[in-house]
Amino acid sequence: MNKIIISLICCLLPTFVLAETLQLREDAPDRHIVVKGDTLWDISSKFLKDPWQWPKIWGMNREIVEDPHWIFPGEIILLDRATNTLSVAQPISTTNGKTESTTGSAGAAAGSGRSGADLSNAVKLSPSVRVERSAHDAIPSIPASAIGPFLSRPLVIEEDGMKDAPAIVGTFEKRVMLGDDDIAYVSNLPQDKGLIWQVYRPGKALIDPESGDTLGYEANYLGNAKVEKFADISTMRITDALKEIRKGDRLAYATSMMPINYSPHAPEKEIVARIVSIYGEDGRKQAGQYSVVTLNKGQRDGLENGHVLALYRKGEVLKKRWSDDIVLPDVRYGLLFVFRTFEKLSYALIMQTRLPVEMQDSARTP
């Protein structure tokens, strides 16, 4: 009898843990049909109070969903309220013209190329043409358009990288400004980094508000250039200029597009970061949903792609004339999704906020 009770507890334990850590929305639907433009975050926000915890409600772990190409438009997300878990069903037309669905484990599908569906629940179908879907059709974790430009361009130039960075030292016919198809002469250009380079201009210094140290410099992306001849002073041709390029601008070797389907998860240790910059050239002091901000913590502090941090505004100080001032608690008001990390800095996307995000606000382990 004792063995039976222990076995039953072990079977139910995952459900108890999910119930403790995950809270369903009161208005959570029983199902959701995936449409083009959905993200995993959007879908999970329909079911969960904390949408960043979507891997848990699917019963998945970080290793399985590190690159989660497994949900496509047209599929149906089903909620099992008994276990607080979700599953994916494919709508399929049967011979009588009605639409049925086959339901499988999202975790199994992700781990085995969608071949791990529960065949016991499959609908018997007549012969039909099988359509293979590309991973490019799968919905992303977060809005791809919001961070796409940030995944392949230089964003931060760390102080050590400024000194020896290749630089434009001259122009053909002594032109002041360079555009498409113009020639530039570059110093310190290595020959082992390829022919395609990105042109940038060092921007404002990013200062740590806690230590006062310079963590790096924002890189204002200007365009691309291609090497025509390597030499002590190399010859390059501007292939596309987003902005005017001039003498003194620097170059960084082109990097390939980074993946964007990170699995959202909280840092394993307590992290307290501060917002040191709001991306944009207009000198903005406030930002809203889907804006990009820079944090004063990076890889050396334990931040990694996919980390979710909670946004906090410092509590108000109530001045008292005849007694000590009263400091109100810090206010939690939103969530950030870290999508690109450097040694000392990180870039994050504002996913949710009920207040304007401001410089010096803090971002902490939720």
Cβ-proximal residues to 48 (8 Å cutoff; 6+ apart), any chain = 22, 23, 24, 25, 28, 54, 57
Same domain? 136 vs 102: yes
d(CA 52, CA 351): 9
AA identity, residue 210: E
Domain that holds residue 90: 2-141
**Domain end: 253, 287, 313, which one?**
253
Do both 56 and 114 map to the same domain?
yes
The confidence score (pLDDT) of residue 361 equals 95
The answer as to whether 259 is a domain residue is no
The torsion region of residue 200 among left (phi > 0), alpha (psi -120 to 50) and beta comes to: beta
Question: Does 187 share its domain with 237?
Answer: yes
Same domain, 75 and 34: yes
Query: Does residue 42 lie within any of the structural domains?
Result: yes
| Any domain includes 263 | no
Cα 15 from Cα 49, distance rounded (Å): 17
19 and 125 within one domain:
yes
Per-residue pLDDT of the chain (366 residues; tens, 9 = 90+): 433 333 333 333 333 334 445 688 889 999 999 988 888 888 888 888 888 877 776 655 444 444 444 678 888 888 888 877 777 776 655 445 454 555 544 443 333 333 333 433 433 433 433 444 555 667 777 787 788 778 878 788 877 777 788 999 999 988 999 999 999 999 999 999 899 999 999 888 999 999 999 999 998 999 999 999 999 999 999 999 999 999 999 999 887 666 666 678 889 999 999 999 998 756 678 899 999 999 999 999 999 998 999 999 988 888 777 777 788 889 999 999 999 999 999 999 999 999 999 999 999 999
Tell me whether residue 261 is in a domain. no
Residue 266 lies in a domain: no
CA angle 356, 292, 306 (to 5 degrees): 110
pLDDT of residue 292: 92
pLDDT the model gives residue 362:
96
Question: 198 with 305, same domain?
Answer: no
Q: What is the DSSP letter of 307?
A: B
Are 49 and 117 in contact by the 8 Å Cβ rule? The answer is no
CATH number at residue 285: 2.40.10.410
Burial of 80 (0-12, 13-18, 19+ CB in 10 A): exposed
Q: How many domains does the chain have?
A: 3
pLDDT of residue 148: 78
Residues 282 and 171 in one domain: no
Q: What is the pLDDT of residue 26?
A: 86
pLDDT for 145 equals 77
Residue 25 has a pLDDT of: 86
Do 134 and 158 share a domain, yes or no?
Answer: no
256 CA to centre of own chain: 16
Local structure of 132: helix, strand or coil: coil
pLDDT at 126: 39
Does residue 297 fall inside a structural domain? yes
Domain membership of residue 260 (yes or no) is no
**pLDDT (0 to 100) of residue 38:** 87
Last residue in a domain, options 191, 220, 253? 253
Domain boundary among the residues 82, 107, 141 is at 141
* Domain annotation covers residue 81: yes
**249 in the same domain as 177:** yes
* Pair (240, 110) in one structural domain: no
Q: Looking at the structure, tell me whether residues 172 and 300 fall in a common domain.
A: no
- State whether 171 and 221 are in the same domain: yes
pLDDT in the model for residue 50: 84
pLDDT for 8 equals 32
